[in-house]
Amino acid sequence: MPRQETRTFIFATSWLILSIAAFTVVVRQKSVLVSALLVISGLILTIDGLIVTRNLTVVYFLGPAIGFIFALIVLALGIAKSVITATKKSSISLK
């Protein structure tokens, strides 16, 4: 079993790559499901990063800090996709 810090870095990196891929595939489509899944995955990664870094009090290895930053990036992608989806839906309903 890898160390907890290494696990967080690997977990966050793979999740970040998959989230960016999902965002780029559906960026021009309105998809409430993808935006909700991106926000949920960002929250899960953020909670995992907080647990590993002990609420950001002990950061002696760069892995957990990078994992936490990756989590915030995934959360931002989810929020951006939600805003894009909401504006597309409102512009469609106005036509």
SS percent in the chain: helix, strand, coil, step 5: 80, 0, 20
* pLDDT score recorded for residue 71: 81
User: Which stretches of the chain score pLDDT less than 70?
Assistant: 1-8, 55-64, 89-95
Does this model's pTM top 0.75? My answer is: no
> Encoding tokens for residue 95?
């036509």
* Distance (Å) of CA 11 to CA 5, 50, 54: 10, 14, 17
* pLDDT score recorded for residue 48: 76
* pLDDT score recorded for residue 58: 58
Q: Where are the domains of the chain?
A: 31-90
Distance between CA 87 and CA 82 in Å, rounded? 9
